[in-house]
Amino acid sequence: MGRSSKLTSVSGKSVLKRIDWLSVFIYLALVLIGWINIYSSTFTDEHSSIFDFSTLYGKQLFFIGVSLVTIVIVLALEVNFYERFSSLLYLISMLSLLGLFVFGKTIAGATSWYDLGFFNLQPSELAKVATALALAKYLSDIQTDIKRRKDQFYALLIILVPAILIIPQPDPGSALVFFAMIFVIFREGLPLYYLVILLSLILIFVITLMFGTVWLIIGLALMIILLYTLKRKSLKIPVIPLSLISVAVILFSLSVNFVFNNVFEQRHRDRFGLWLRLEKDPKKLEQIRKSIGYNTYQSEKAIESGGFFGKGFLEGTRTKGDFVPEQHTDYIFSTVGEEWGFLGTATVIILFTVLFLRLISLAERQKNAFARMYGYGVISILLIHYFINIGMVIGILPTIGIPLPFFSYGGSGLLFFTILLFIFLRLDTNRLKESF
């Protein structure tokens, strides 16, 4: 008993000594700044105590406490635990997503939560952690060769299954996050032409919505004519493959309008229409911005009003006036902009940037393939959340409902983002041992 206790103590000290404290510090800083802004955006004179758990900032403080306890548990578990049980965790998370179709609670039009009474659990957040672990497990398996089509298919299937289960909720924002993990596969050797195909499909989708299939065909024909006109005599262009590609492009373009009008919900069509400026009349476009794009419009105005130094803590007039809906969740960054100004927003962006660069450095120095691949899964998930959230708040991307990691209000989000990050930091603590 004494020896076991001693070993546990030594192990605990070893973990604390080896953990990357820079990442821990940035995490704590983001959580603290996020809570301060949640407090500011939800504070009322009726509830002055920060420990009033009937308030949103009080609940978030409770979630922070739970997350800190969870960190201790994550760091206490053996490193091999995460690789050994990754498949089981993935299976559990998929079953939890399936269960939403029967037992799910609908909030804001999306059936994405389980009502646990005191807490609404969003299983898609668990699925992000589980998918990152399962993908790393599969790719790091000695029998997996990412150059083989079969292995490429299974790796993509691990990513696609949770996304397919989440889309019908409907929650396209959360589903989009899973596709970011494709970059893990590219990092491990997936041919780049897959990325070219993916980006081409996105480009065709956007061009079709903006200009229509007819103009796309005209543009494609002009490119082919130009290609044959400027090509060298020694260069042979394969006619059949080029013809097949052209037909595939046209067919995909023809399907875009059907998908856009029948698969997307009206609110999604409206937001894409606003983002792509499909309405050409400036007056009508401005009217749409103030109605359909109300959240983004008010968010932009809130950030603009902050200036360089901001209006000060609890002094944001737009924040206090509830001009920005869901300002404590998806639009929390607008609170930073109004009350803390350019200095505040720059500080948050710098913290996230340093965190991403640090995580990339940690991932690249891993001796264990599983740890490296999981690390890039963590980076992919956090980065797409950060990029889309900031982009939609400042109006350069459509609103799709994605929170800012460690920052936005939400128990499930904070808890599982914390687990996601600290599993990787726990894996990193084993790096020096593996080098011997």
Which residues lie across from 107 on neighbouring strands?
110
Q: With CA atoms as reference, report the closest residue to 169 among 257, 103, 256.
A: 103
Is there a domain that residue 383 lies in? yes
Is there a single domain that holds both residue 165 and residue 312? yes
Q: What is the dihedral of CA 156, 158, 161, 163, to 10 degrees?
A: -70
Contact 224, 237 (CB under 8 A): no
* Confidence check: pLDDT of 28 > 80: yes
Q: Give percent of the chain with pLDDT exceeding 70.
A: 83
Answer with the residue of higher pLDDT: 293 or 215. 215
Is there a single domain that holds both residue 327 and residue 362? yes
Most confident of 122-126, 226-230, 303-307, 430-434: 122-126
Answer with the residue of higher pLDDT: 267 or 421. 421
Confidence of residue 35 (pLDDT cuts 50, 70, 90): very high
Is there a single domain that holds both residue 284 and residue 305? no
Is there a domain that residue 7 lies in? no
Longest dimension (CA), the chain: 83
Please state, rounded to an integer, the average pLDDT across all residues of the chain.
82
E runs forming strands in 288-332:
none
Number of folded domains that form the chain: 2
Confidence of residue 264 (pLDDT cuts 50, 70, 90): low
Among 111-125, 232-246, 400-414, the least confident range: 232-246
Is there a single domain that holds both residue 253 and residue 348? no
Amino acid (one-letter) located at 149: R
Contact 300, 331 (CB under 8 A): no
Full domain range(s) for residue 127: 20-189+293-434
Is there a single domain that holds both residue 240 and residue 216? yes
pLDDT per position as a tens digit, 211-226 = 888 888 888 888 888 8
Is there a domain that residue 11 lies in? no
Is there a domain that residue 95 lies in? yes
Is there a domain that residue 3 lies in? no
User: Could you say which of 246, 263, 288 is where a domain stops?
Assistant: 288
pLDDT per position as a tens digit, 350-405 = 999 999 999 999 999 998 999 999 999 999 999 999 998 898 888 777 777 788 99
Is there a domain that residue 1 lies in? no
User: Could you say which of 271, 288, 305 is where a domain stops?
Assistant: 288
Is there a domain that residue 304 lies in? yes
DSSP 311: S
Average pLDDT over every residue of 237-256: 81
Is there a single domain that holds both residue 57 and residue 125? yes
State the burial class of residue 87 (Cβ atoms within 10 Å of its Cβ: 0-12, 13-18, 19+): middle
Is there a single domain that holds both residue 385 and residue 244? no
pLDDT per position as a tens digit, 86-97 = 999 999 999 999
* Confidence check: pLDDT of 179 > 70: yes
Rg (the chain; Cα; Å): 24
* Confidence check: pLDDT of 123 > 80: yes
Peptide linkage before 170 cis (omega within 30 of 0):
yes
Average pLDDT over every residue of 272-282: 66
Is there a single domain that holds both residue 206 and residue 182? no
Answer with the residue of higher pLDDT: 169 or 384. 384
Is there a domain that residue 12 lies in? no
Determine the 3-state secondary structure of 190 from DSSP.
coil
Among 180-189, 256-265, 368-377, the least confident range: 256-265
Is there a single domain that holds both residue 122 and residue 99? yes
Is there a single domain that holds both residue 279 and residue 318? no
pLDDT per position as a tens digit, 151-168 = 889 999 999 999 888 888
Burial 2-31 (b: 16+ CB within 10 A, else e): eeeeeeeeeeeeebeebbbeebeebbebbb
Confidence of residue 322 (pLDDT cuts 50, 70, 90): low
Is there a single domain that holds both residue 210 and residue 346? no
Is there a single domain that holds both residue 242 and residue 344? no
Burial 204-215 (b: 16+ CB within 10 A, else e): bbebbbeeebee
Predicted local confidence at residue 5, as pLDDT: 41
Answer with the residue of higher pLDDT: 228 or 231. 228
Among 131-135, 144-148, 153-157, the least confident range: 144-148
Kindly report the pTM of this predicted structure: 0.82
Predicted local confidence at residue 203, as pLDDT: 87
Q: How far apart are the first and last CA of the chain?
A: 29
Confidence of residue 280 (pLDDT cuts 50, 70, 90): low
Average pLDDT over every residue of 106-129: 80
User: Could you say which of 248, 267, 288 is where a domain stops?
Assistant: 288
Predicted local confidence at residue 10, as pLDDT: 41
Answer with the residue of higher pLDDT: 262 or 162. 162
* Confidence check: pLDDT of 6 > 50: no
Average pLDDT over every residue of 407-423: 91
Answer with the residue of higher pLDDT: 355 or 257. 355
